[in-house]
Amino acid sequence: MITLKSPREIQEMAKSGAILAGMHIGLRKIIKPGISSWEIEKFARKHFEEHDAIAEQIGFEGYKYATCVSVNDEICHGFPRKNLILKDGDLIKVDTVVNYHGAMSDSCWSYVVGKSTPEIDRLMKVTKDALYLGIDQAQVGNRIGDIGAAIQHYTEEVNNYGDVREFIGHGIGPTMHESPNVPHYGQAGKGLRLRPGMTITIEPMINVGTWKAVMDDPNGWTARTADGSFSCQYEHTLAITEDGPKILTSQDPERDQKYLLA
């Protein structure tokens, strides 16, 4: 079921999104060579507790952690691990969902540990740019396929990367995952028409190599690239409004100025 949110409900989701964005901003000082990925989990839990928010992922279908911390060829749903020590050149994706007094927000961000490489820098830039190309298509009257087509064209045809098919964006609020599905591939002019009050996530997962994923991890959750290539992801929660898409999880008010709620 698709739920259309009132302006008040969207404002509450923006409060949740600000807490989540603050956690991601804080991680910029935390993520460095020599720490374990468990330190990311500890930081997120403390941040949410201090802001009277709930880590909504804990307990979801048996998942035990506040964050997903996926490294290098892990596409998504990586576990935070005490025995995984981060090193220079690791590409980290941190994904989490926040519940603030019933209002949901969902965002993933990518970080490079220590010294980067030109290849990682390019992958991160293309993935983030793809996210914003998708957001620009999230206009009242457009269709879901317009979002996916813009992302797929830019990542696969222009940049020769793999655009993951197995994991997609979704509606959000009042539950963590709800309709509509928001693929990051597809045909322009196809799919559900976007309406004011819809709240969705756009979260492209882009691989250096093939778009295909494998699910062979013993934990039953973590997805990896089928060819072992690096994967990157960025995700925002946004509201569809008559004034255009509004990002509810912004970390950069200057870049996102035209996407922010009044």
Domain ranges of the chain: 7-259
What CATH class does 7-259 carry?
A: alpha beta
Q: pLDDT per residue over 173-213, tens digit each?
A: 999 999 999 999 999 999 999 999 999 999 999 999 999 99
Name the pLDDT band for 163 (thresholds 50, 70, 90).
Answer: very high
The percent of residues in the chain predicted with pLDDT above 90, rounded, is 99
153 labelled binding-site residue: no
136 labelled binding-site residue: no
170 labelled binding-site residue: yes
| DSSP structural state of residue 160 | -
119 labelled binding-site residue: no
95 labelled binding-site residue: yes
Residue 134 CB partners (closer than 8 Å, separation 6+): 147, 148, 150, 151, 184, 202, 204
